[in-house]
Amino acid sequence: MASDVFPATLNTWIGGELNRGSSGRLKVNQYLMSTYAWPLRVYYLGTNLRWLGEPDDVIGGFFASRLAQGEFFGKWQASGIRLRRWLMNSFSYYLMEMRREHRKQRTAVEAIDEPVTFSGDPNAALDQAAAVAFVRQAMLEAQKVCESDDLGDHWQIFLRHHLEGAPFADLGKEYGVDAARATVMARTATRKFRAALRDVLERDGVAPERIDEEIQMLVKEIGS
């Protein structure tokens, strides 16, 4: 259907996948759930509507509802905002829909139609959670690339050095290489991770030339 054809000019990966049909759509849906479920969960648990259900169920329902809509991504592209922000806004509407449904099934006790409110700054909370989720998603993708390139040990040395603080000398002994080689192996994996993280940010709607700026903003937002 012509209306389902996604304008690929603005976001190459998502647009390209959606234009491939149902297999591409499935891939995009899996990607969105893998990357954005955590930020949406943090947002949901900060709202006054967190009584609507278990976070996993509510977020799963949201994705099922919205991702089935052919125009969902087109509307996001037209909005010009970050995908995480678009999803949070859409999720907020979804929560109101859920509450309306809930009310229909209940008595008038819950009839007051109060707006969705958030304890604190929802944008800051979303950005903090998204920063962590982006890092995790980039790790998953970079690990996959490393393993398919026969660089599984490179990935392990990278991750264990940066995540657990393991010295290269110790890692080198474990993996049967000297410290210098372990350092270079981690460097190779760093390059894969960097590329993956930048891809994740680009899919969120960040222009390639502004990715460093976005990273700096996220680092500032998480305050470390």
Nearer to other proteins, 18 or 206 (CB): 206
For residue 162, state whether it binds other proteins (rule: CB under 8 A): yes
Q: Could you tell me how many residues of this chain bind other proteins (CB under 8 A)?
A: 49
* Residues 101-130, interacting with other proteins (CB under 8 A): 128-129
Compute how many other C-beta atoms are within 10 angstroms of the C-beta atom of residue 135: 16
Site map (CB under 8 A) of other proteins, residues 195-214, x = contact: --xx--x---------xx--
Compute how many other C-beta atoms are within 10 angstroms of the C-beta atom of residue 41: 17
Closest approach, Cβ 191 to other proteins, in A, equals 8
Contact present, 149 and 131 (Cβ < 8 Å): no
First to last CA, the chain: 47
d(CA 70, CA 57): 22
Structure tokens belonging to residue 215: 């990273």
* Residues 56-85, interacting with other proteins (CB under 8 A): none
For residue 192, state whether it binds other proteins (rule: CB under 8 A): no
Nearer to other proteins, 44 or 193 (CB): 193
d(CA 180, CA 163): 19
- The CA radius of gyration of the chain, in Å to the nearest whole number, is 21
Phi, psi of 118 (to 5 degrees): -130, 140
Task: Report the interface residues with other proteins, using CB under 8 A.
Answer: 38, 128-129, 131-136, 138-140, 143, 152-153, 156, 159-160, 162-164, 173-176, 178-181, 183-184, 187-188, 190-191, 193-194, 197-198, 201, 211-212, 215-216, 218-219, 222-224
